[in-house]
């Protein structure tokens, strides 16, 4: 194997964390901010990119880091190396309520495609790159699904799904239609495209957006019930628009603000 061979255990139900067991000289890389706890004799180091192409020198590191900029992620990742003589543990936590999904890339023909903010951590040697859409429709209307991450290698990787996780195994030619933000990831054998919902009422009053994703098998698709964008939108919509909380939670709250003179924009 090119990637380090790691053991793991996932704890919790709604707010999960993954505990990774590292043999001496084994390492794991993680997104900044996902670290939870670790044993002594584990060395933490900040690296450019994902650490999968260290032999390529400075240019290789800059190219790897540049790919991460396109997905809105940090230029840096954090590597955790066991420098001791016995097995040690390091743990990484979910960023919000949901499930941690273990992905064995050796069982996915060496590649798995996921949402750009779904990646949590992986065995060192796994490459975290960018999966660009090859179709114009996806690029213009794909929303969260336009630029996705690709995880490549032969080791273990871990992605996070918000809310409840649904795993769908699609047969050849079988189609699944999904809200673009609800996609966690899918096998490289799955064909991904964007489809217009259609209909005047659906477009104007549906409230579900203008497009959804169509995923055609064969392959495995992971779907989340609570994408972070949806969670953040609900939180923002519940916040009062000003310091005056009169009418909060009521249908006429906004009209009341206007009648009361609170019409600042």
E strands of the chain, at which residues?
Answer: 7-11, 17-22, 27-30, 35-38, 42-48, 76-82, 88-93, 98-104, 111-114, 119-123, 127-131, 148-152, 156-162, 165-170, 175-178, 183-187, 191-196, 211-216, 219-224
Strand-pair partners of 114: 149, 185
Name the band, by pLDDT with cuts 50, 70 and 90, for residue 145: very low
Highest-confidence segment of 10-14, 172-176, 228-232: 172-176
Over residues 130-155, mean pLDDT: 67
Domain assignment of residue 262, yes or no: no
Over residues 17-33, mean pLDDT: 93
List the alpha helices (DSSP H) in 56-174: 57-70, 136-141
Question: Scanning the structure block, which residue is given the tokens 């009648």?
Answer: 259
Domain assignment of residue 120, yes or no: yes
**Listed range (50-64, 132-146, 177-191) with the worst mean pLDDT:** 132-146
167 vs 31, which has greater pLDDT?
167
**Residue 217, domain CATH:** 3.60.160.10
Give the chain's mean pLDDT. Answer: 79
Over residues 146-165, mean pLDDT: 90
The whole-number pLDDT of residue 201 equals: 52
The length of the chain is: 265
Domain assignment of residue 205, yes or no: yes
- Structural domain including 58 reads 7-239
pLDDT above 90 (res 260): no
pLDDT above 80 (res 69): no
Name the band, by pLDDT with cuts 50, 70 and 90, for residue 223: very high
The whole-number pLDDT of residue 33 equals: 84
CA angle 204-209-215, nearest 5°? Answer: 135
Give the model confidence (pLDDT) of 72-108 as tens digits: 556 678 999 999 999 999 999 998 899 999 999 999 9
pLDDT above 80 (res 50): no
The whole-number pLDDT of residue 251 equals: 46
Domain assignment of residue 57, yes or no: yes
Domain assignment of residue 98, yes or no: yes
Name the band, by pLDDT with cuts 50, 70 and 90, for residue 53: low
pLDDT above 70 (res 48): yes
Q: What percent of the chain has pLDDT over 90?
A: 46
Over residues 109-128, mean pLDDT: 91
The total number of structural domains that make up the chain: 1
Taking the model in full, what pTM does it have? 0.78
Q: What is the dihedral of CA 21, 27, 29, 32, to 10 degrees?
A: 80
94 vs 245, which has greater pLDDT?
94
Give the model confidence (pLDDT) of 174-216 as tens digits: 999 998 889 999 999 999 888 776 555 555 544 455 678 899 9
């Amino acid at each position: 194997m090119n990637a380090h061979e790691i053991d793991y255990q996932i704890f919790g139900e709604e707010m999960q964390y993954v505990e990774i067991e590292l043999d001496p000289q084994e390492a794991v890389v993680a997104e900044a901010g996902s670290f939870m706890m670790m044993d002594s004799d584990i060395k933490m180091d900040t690296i450019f990119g994902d650490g999968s192409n260290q032999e390529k020198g400075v240019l290789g590191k800059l190219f790897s880091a540049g790919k991460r900029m396109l997905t809105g992620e940090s230029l840096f990742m954090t590597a955790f190396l066991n420098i001791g003589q016995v097995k040690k543990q390091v743990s990484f936590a979910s960023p919000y309520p949901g499930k941690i999904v273990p992905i064995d890339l050796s069982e996915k023909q060496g590649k798995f495609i996921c949402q750009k903010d779904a990646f949590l951590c992986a065995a060192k040697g796994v490459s975290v790159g960018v999966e660009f859409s090859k179709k114009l429709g996806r690029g213009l209307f794909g929303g969260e699904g336009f630029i996705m991450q690709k995880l490549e290698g032969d080791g273990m990787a871990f992605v996070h799904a918000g809310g409840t996780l649904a795993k769908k195994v699609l047969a050849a030619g079988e189609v699944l239609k999904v809200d673009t933000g609800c996609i966690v990831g899918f096998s490289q054998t799955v064909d991904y495209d964007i489809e217009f919902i259609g209909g005047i009422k659906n477009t104007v009053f549906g409230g579900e957006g203008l497009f959804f994703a169509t995923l055609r098998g064969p392959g495995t698709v992971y779907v989340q019930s609570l994408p972070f964008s949806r969670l953040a939108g609900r939180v923002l919509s519940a916040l009062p628009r000003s310091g005056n909380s009169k009418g909060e939670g009521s249908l006429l709250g906004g009209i009341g603000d206007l009648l009361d003179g609170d019409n600042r924009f």
